[in-house]
């Protein structure tokens, strides 16, 4: 083992340091194993119930009428998530597109969209029209209202009650914090919020942005009252194998409404050829519980390694996880660069590439990104990025296997070690961030959280 790690460039000191952290995570990891086992059976049952067979893997072309594999996969998703219906399509370009389809398909002029738990994901700002944008919901006469979380991060029930009116048609809740300053919500919390909203207005549609959340828990938002649940296939549910796509699971009516926006009125879900992706979609969904588990273990491992080294991490090493994103505040530009070089060096694709901070259009600072993925931009695969500005934090996520995520974290430590940016003693006392961490760990964390990824990625993705 040591020899192989040495060949990969991991020194004995780094290996030993990280190995000790790993030993302390056994119980935590066992919980992840149990969740994955449960979810694996859930997916398997849905596949068996729907009699998945070889012919499901044949793709259609052209209009895609009667695409048996596509239609069966949508039933598998619906049964796994306990919903009446689901769209799972390569025509859905990304998570933002899936969310936009769900919103446009279910809202009409004069309706109001309510965000009861703060601002949604950055890319939705232009979909909704929070930032004026061509073709936004606002341009079609759909108004928007937002109730922010209370200071302590809990729901502002009084504010939500006051915000619900005659016009309120759809409520949008985002499970993962994405790159915001709040904690991610548990499925149980989302259930409470939905129950509260429905008590005031039973016919309101509750939609949950489930990106990064699938299979992190044994229940999903659709199990606690969500009418619609939306996500991206190049995150958790694609299992790393889906090369594109998004899904919308929910009530028959909501999903059908979305389908008329995905294609067009009248055609809905009847058209949309699967081309050659069916097999990858099935196989990826089958593996998704395990892949998500690996990414979760990687995130918790990173949190604990860097916490022990004395750096501020969000979430911290012990917090329950609701998504697979890990933020680490390294405190120096050199630290951010070394971390990302380590992630890149651990990649199966483009490991020979040396990432550099770069001026990118639309960003207010240079950015460094590390990704050696099989699928472009896939964030279920091992990846990291950081803006070259204080507090010098990086966001780390993914890893198709726990073993690979672990190597990525170790390699990042290795690069910091080689640059003498850290010392590998037992406590982390001698490392840079310790003093500032002690004196103001909360503010560092918040700083670190407040660097929205889309804030510096915006120009890249859209």
Ligand X SMILES: *Cc1c(COP(=O)(O)O)cnc(C)c1O
**Contacting residues toward ligand X, per CB under 6 A:** 94-96, 121, 123, 174, 176, 178, 209, 211-212, 232, 461
Q: Name every residue whose Cβ is closer than 8 Å to that of residue 86 and which is 6 or more positions away in sequence.
A: 74, 75, 77, 78, 247, 248, 249, 250, 255
Q: Which is nearer to ligand X, 106 or 123 (CB)?
A: 123
- Which one, of 423, 408, 421, 438, lies nearest residue 333 by Cα? 421
Query: Which residue, judged by CB position, is nearest to ligand X in the bound state?
Result: 95
**Beta partners for 250?**
85, 228
Q: Which is nearer to ligand X, 376 or 461 (CB)?
A: 461
CB of 183 to ligand X, least distance (A): 13
Q: Which is nearer to ligand X, 72 or 222 (CB)?
A: 222
Q: Which is nearer to ligand X, 232 or 257 (CB)?
A: 232
| Residue for token pair 């299992």 | 239
Phi and psi, residue 114, nearest 5°:
-115, 130
Q: Which is nearer to ligand X, 209 or 217 (CB)?
A: 209
- Which one, of 82, 81, 107, 120, lies nearest residue 258 by Cα? 107
C-alpha atoms less than 13 angstroms from C-alpha of 289 in its C-beta half-sphere: 20
Give the C-alpha separation, 56 to 128, whole Å. Answer: 37
CB of 182 to ligand X, least distance (A): 12
CB of 453 to ligand X, least distance (A): 9
Cβ contact 112:144 at 8 Å: yes
Please work out, in degrees rounded to the nearest 5, the angle formed at the alpha carbon of residue 243 by the alpha carbons of 133 and 384. Answer: 70
CB of 459 to ligand X, least distance (A): 13
Q: Which is nearer to ligand X, 115 or 413 (CB)?
A: 115
CB of 441 to ligand X, least distance (A): 25
| Backbone region of residue 38 per phi and psi (left: phi > 0; alpha: psi in -120 to 50; beta: other values) | alpha
* SS3 label, residue 276: coil
CB of 124 to ligand X, least distance (A): 7
- Which one, of 398, 400, 402, 370, lies nearest residue 385 by Cα? 370
Q: Which is nearer to ligand X, 98 or 407 (CB)?
A: 98
CB of 258 to ligand X, least distance (A): 16
Q: Which is nearer to ligand X, 105 or 331 (CB)?
A: 105
Please work out, in degrees rounded to the nearest 5, the angle formed at the alpha carbon of residue 287 by the alpha carbons of 74 and 227. Answer: 40
Q: Which is nearer to ligand X, 167 or 462 (CB)?
A: 462
CB of 23 to ligand X, least distance (A): 32
- Which one, of 305, 307, 329, 308, lies nearest residue 316 by Cα? 307
Q: Name every residue whose Cβ is closer than 8 Å to that of residue 315 and which is 6 or more positions away in sequence.
A: 183, 303, 321, 326
Give the C-alpha separation, 103 to 143, whole Å. Answer: 12
CB of 462 to ligand X, least distance (A): 8
Q: Which is nearer to ligand X, 21 or 380 (CB)?
A: 380
Residue 24 burial by Cβ neighbours in a 10 Å radius (0-12, 13-18, 19+) = exposed
CB of 317 to ligand X, least distance (A): 22
293: which 2 tokens? 């588990």
């Amino acid at each position: 083992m040591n020899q192989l790690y040495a060949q990969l460039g991991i020194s004995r000191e780094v290996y030993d340091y990280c190995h000790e952290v790993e030993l302390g995570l056994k119980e935590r990891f066992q919980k992840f194993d149990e969740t994955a086992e449960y979810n694996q059976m859930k997916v398997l049952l849905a596949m068996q119930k729907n009699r998945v067979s070889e012919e499901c893997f044949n793709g259609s072309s052209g209009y895609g009428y009667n695409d048996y594999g596509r239609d069966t996969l949508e039933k598998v998703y619906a049964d796994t998530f306990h919903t009446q219906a689901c769209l799972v399509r390569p025509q859905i370009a990304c998570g933002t597109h899936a969310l936009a389809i769900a919103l446009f398909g279910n809202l009409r002029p004069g309706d109001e969209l309510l965000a009861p738990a703060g601002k949604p994901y950055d890319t939705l700002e232009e979909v909704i029209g929070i930032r004026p944008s061509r073709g936004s919901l606002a341009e079609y006469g759909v108004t928007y209202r937002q109730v922010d979380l209370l200071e302590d991060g809990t729901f502002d029930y009084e504010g939500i009650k006051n915000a619900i009116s005659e016009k309120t048609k759809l409520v949008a809740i985002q499970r993962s914090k994405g790159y915001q300053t709040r904690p991610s919500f548990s499925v149980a919390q989302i259930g409470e919020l939905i129950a509260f909203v429905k008590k005031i207005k039973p016919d309101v549609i509750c939609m949950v942005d489930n990106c990064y959340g699938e299979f992190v828990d044994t229940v999903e938002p659709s199990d606690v009252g969500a009418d619609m649940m939306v996500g991206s296939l190049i995150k958790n549910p694609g299992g790393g194998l889906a090369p594109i796509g998004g899904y919308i699971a929910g009530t028959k009516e909501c999903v059908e409404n979305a389908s008329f926006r995905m294609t067009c009125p009248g055609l809905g879900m009847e058209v949309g050829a699967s081309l050659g992706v069916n097999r990858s979609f099935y196989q990826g969904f089958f593996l998704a519980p395990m892949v998500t588990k690996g990414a979760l273990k990687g995130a918790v491992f990173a949190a604990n390694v860097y916490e022990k080294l004395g750096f501020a991490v969000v979430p911290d090493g012990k917090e329950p996880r609701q998504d697979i994103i890990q933020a680490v505040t390294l405190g120096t530009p050199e630290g951010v660069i070394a971390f990302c070089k380590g992630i890149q060096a651990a990649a199966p694709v483009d490991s020979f590439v040396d990432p550099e901070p770069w001026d990118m259009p639309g960003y207010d600072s240079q950015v460094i990104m590390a990704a050696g993925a099989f699928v472009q931009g896939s964030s279920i695969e091992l990846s990291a990025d950081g803006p070259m500005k204080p507090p010098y934090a990086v966001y780390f996520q993914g890893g198709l296997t726990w073993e690979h995520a672990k190597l990525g974290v170790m390699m990042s430590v290795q690069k910091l070690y080689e640059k003498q940016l850290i010392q590998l003693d037992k406590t982390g006392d001698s490392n840079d961030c310790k003093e500032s961490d002690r004196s103001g760990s909360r503010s560092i964390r918040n700083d670190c959280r407040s660097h929205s990824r889309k804030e510096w990625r915006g120009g890249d993705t859209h």
